[in-house]
Amino acid sequence: SVPADDSVRRQVRALAAQLGSGSASLVPILREIKRTRGHIPPAALEEIAAALSLDYGKVHRVASFYSLLSNLDRELALAS
């Protein structure tokens, strides 16, 4: 467990308030955190799980898959 700094906590809470607190908001929140920070801090995953009332394991799996897709998209863009 990595404690989230206040800026991560505030960002996650603001995004959950803006986008909704259901599981459908998970990927949009991950996308916005990655866009603004350049990566998804590990501590953000726990904050997201709490804000969306989701299991941490689910958030971690989706974040890992999303990261894999983002890397694949970047590699495909560079190859073309």
Please state, in angstroms and rounded to a whole number, the distance separating the CA atoms of residues 67 and 70.
Answer: 5
User: What DSSP line would sit under 11-30, residue for residue?
Assistant: HHHHHHHHH-SSGGGHHHHH
**Positions of E strands within 1-80:** none
- Domain layout of the chain by residue ranges: 6-79
What letter would DSSP give residue 39?
S
- What pLDDT, in 10s, does the model give residues 15-69? 999 999 889 999 999 999 999 998 888 889 999 999 999 999 999 999 998 776 6
Please state, in angstroms and rounded to a whole number, the distance separating the CA atoms of residues 51 and 9.
Answer: 9
Global confidence as pTM: 0.81
Is residue 33 within 8 Å of residue 11, measured between CB atoms? yes
